[in-house]
Structure 1
Amino acid sequence: MHTLFLAFLTALILSFLSIPSIVRISKVKHLFDEPDSRKCHKSRVPTLGGVAIFGAMIFSLTFWSDQELIRELQYILASLMILFYVGVKDDLLNIRAYKKLIVQIVASFIIVHYAGIRLYSFFGLFGIHDLDVFSSYAISIFTITSLTNAFNLIDGIDGLAGSIGILVSLIFGVWFSCVHSYQYAILSFTMMGALIGFIYYNWSPAKIFMGDTGSLIVGFVSAILAIKFIEINRHMDREADFKVISVPVVTISILVIPIFDTIRIFSVRILKGRSPFAPDRNHIHHLLLDRGMTHSQTVLTLLGVNIGLIVLSYFLQGRIVGEILLLVVAAIPCLLTLLLVKLKH
């Protein structure tokens, strides 16, 4: 157990200490995220915080991980390297959305095919149980790619993506440690440590942004943790300690903010005849800001909703209320968004 703490602490310290240097280099080399009418910041802000997150995670993960499970780890690291390179390039030069999507699909395929981290069952959700190989591959790649993009999309205000990433990695990290899946507990806690070191500088008013480099990595790792969370539960006895019965819905509740904001924003854009990747100011965090909230208030509000849904979904699982009620509960952010849109107009 002390290894988990050391991995967390190592990532936190490395991230915290490296960001001031990255900020200085960004200012010298004029590497900024320029403000415009769509963005929420009014001044130029360095945007390479993801470099610190990535470096802290990789060092801590490789230093403290158990080499007996290197087979999966090597493919995770390879995929993260791919995303790191495309993220840095996008932060510096901007890359077309379809090119980033192709790279994300390639990274997801490595995880699904070579690491064997994929969804094998829907646990009866929507009447679907075991998946055939083709469906398993397709749904897993889609899930990983979608969650990667979801974190990229919610990274629109100070502290939001980092805070949600900390919550996600904390929940998964504690659970993995409780079921003695220490390899994934270390992955969770290294990401949490790196994000806590980063969030100190990213809290409003932000001194640095994580950029695509950071958001792609955080989303990708969150997707891996979510799939492992689901699949480990699949192999556990129903009476086992820490068994999550309604694991698909509980997983959705953990990732509810990025998942449902992405579904909503893509749906709105498509219905308006626009590309789903076309940027706008219609995210839930933008709507909360437009209602008069500050960046910090918006982040804390969404965190509170996220935590509340996690608690509800966990304690309601397996009860007579069933899966339908849990899914309705998980859809609350969408209902709140519709209300905010109505109030806005």
Structure 2
Amino acid sequence: AFVPVCVGVALGVQAIPGLAWAPGLGIFLVGLADDRWGLSWQLRLGLQFLLAALAVLGLEGSGPLLWVLGTFWLVTLINALNMLDNMDLLSGGTAWLAGLALFCLGCATGDPALARRALILMAALAGFLLFNWPPARAFMGDAGSNFLGFWLGLESLRLLIPGPPAETGWRWATPLILLALPLYDLVTVVLLRLREGRSPFQADRCHVSHRLVARGLPPLLAVASLHLLALASGAAAVLLQLAVDWRLAALTVGQFLAFWAAFAVVDQTRC
């Protein structure tokens, strides 16, 4: 297993521009240590915040507000992708679909660097997903899911840095829409745990995938349903980022909200 892991890390590092590869590698190693020794949540979060802050500080064209909010955004995504990794194919497939949306954005906006980075990550994930198909023979663990959250968080932040087509006022919503699925799972799980008087860091089977299975869906169909949500969110994010008219942006956001509101009604956020 050592060789595939090294190849995956090498591909992932190539998908991170500039000096951000160093914090990205650090995030991977923190996850690897957590997989091996089980770090306390305090130490894990502290290291994540430190590495995320270093990565955001290295973003060209960012300002103080983006530095602060971006650090919290990266840590949120790191943990959201980790929490989403609770069924075969789910977290990896969701990240692949987000990468597809970023690849489309790179092609549509004439940003070959973004398209290339997204394609590298998609290629690495495609190889992993072949072995993560049920019954899975490979698992990404905290090391893999943390790195995916870091990469997606960093690339989504780059969409907010001024420059065409990011000069429109609604661009701030693009990362939220692009990564709606892991964010929805994170928020609903944390709220459910707090409502029951439990720690938000306590593992359970209250994730959105588990709730769909509890409603009668087979695990593979539950994952496929969530991937459709991720695909729709990615398409909405691409449309919003490319929108140059506020009416098109409003229509895109409205349809996105209606789509997720309908799903939330079906989900009912129950364990």
1:212 Cα offset (Å): 0.5
1:117 Cα offset (Å): 7.0
CA distance in structure 2 between the aligned counterparts of 1:115 and 1:327, rounded to whole angstroms: 31
Q: Please tell me whether the aligned partners of residues 152 and 215 of structure 1 are also in contact (alpha carbons under 8 angstroms).
A: yes
2:188 matched residue in structure 1: 264
Specify the SS of the correspondent of 1:230: coil
Counterparts of 1:160-239 in structure 2, within 5 Å, are 160-231=90-161, 234-236=162-164
1:55 matched residue in structure 2: 10
1:308 pairs, out of 232, 239, 243, with 232
CA distance in structure 2 between the aligned counterparts of 1:207 and 1:147, rounded to whole angstroms: 26
Q: Can you list the C-alpha shifts for 1:225-274, whole angstroms capped at 9, x where unaligned?
A: 1011222xx32268xxxx87743333322211001111121222223332
The alpha-carbon distance between structure 1 residues 325 and 167, as it changes in their structure 2 partners (threshold 3 A), is: closer
Q: Structure 1: which amino acid aligns with 2:164? A: M
Q: Say which is worse superposed, 326-335 or 269-278, in terms of deviation.
A: 326-335
2:40 pairs, out of 83, 87, 96, with 96
Q: Please tell me whether the aligned partners of residues 32 and 143 of structure 2 are also in contact (alpha carbons under 8 angstroms).
A: yes
Q: Can you list the C-alpha shifts for 1:274-310, whole angstroms capped at 9, x where unaligned?
A: 2222211111001112223223211211111222344
- State whether structure 2 residue 261 is matched by structure 1 residue 339: no
Greater CA radius of gyration, 1 or 2?
A: 1
1:87 Cα offset (Å): 1.3
2:77 pairs, out of 141, 147, 150, with 147
Find runs of 4+ consecutive structure 1 residues off by over 6 angstroms: none
Q: Please tell me whether the aligned partners of residues 87 and 216 of structure 1 are also in contact (alpha carbons under 8 angstroms).
A: yes
- State whether structure 2 residue 171 is matched by structure 1 residue 247: yes
CA distance in structure 1 between the aligned counterparts of 2:30 and 2:238, rounded to whole angstroms: 37
Specify the SS of the correspondent of 1:217: helix
**Root-mean-square deviation (Å):** 3.0
Q: Can you list the C-alpha shifts for 1:141-185, whole angstroms capped at 9, x where unaligned?
A: 111110111101100000001101111111112312333333333
Q: Say which is worse superposed, 152-161 or 261-270, in terms of deviation.
A: 261-270
Structure 1 residue ranges without an equivalent (≥5): 1-20, 26-48, 63-71, 121-132
Q: Please tell me whether the aligned partners of residues 257 and 333 of structure 1 are also in contact (alpha carbons under 8 angstroms).
A: no
TM-score (norm 2): 0.85
The alpha-carbon distance between structure 1 residues 51 and 86, as it changes in their structure 2 partners (threshold 3 A), is: farther
TM-score (norm 1): 0.68
Q: Please tell me whether the aligned partners of residues 201 and 208 of structure 1 are also in contact (alpha carbons under 8 angstroms).
A: yes
CA distance in structure 2 between the aligned counterparts of 1:156 and 1:52, rounded to whole angstroms: 24
1:322 Cα offset (Å): 6.3
CA distance in structure 2 between the aligned counterparts of 1:147 and 1:312, rounded to whole angstroms: 19
1:79 Cα offset (Å): 0.7
Q: Please tell me whether the aligned partners of residues 151 and 216 of structure 1 are also in contact (alpha carbons under 8 angstroms).
A: yes
1:315 Cα offset (Å): 5.3
1:129 matched residue in structure 2: none
> How many aligned positions are there?
268
Counterparts of 1:11-160 in structure 2, within 5 Å, are 21-22=1-2, 53-58=8-13, 61=14, 73-116=17-60, 118=62, 133=64, 135-160=65-90
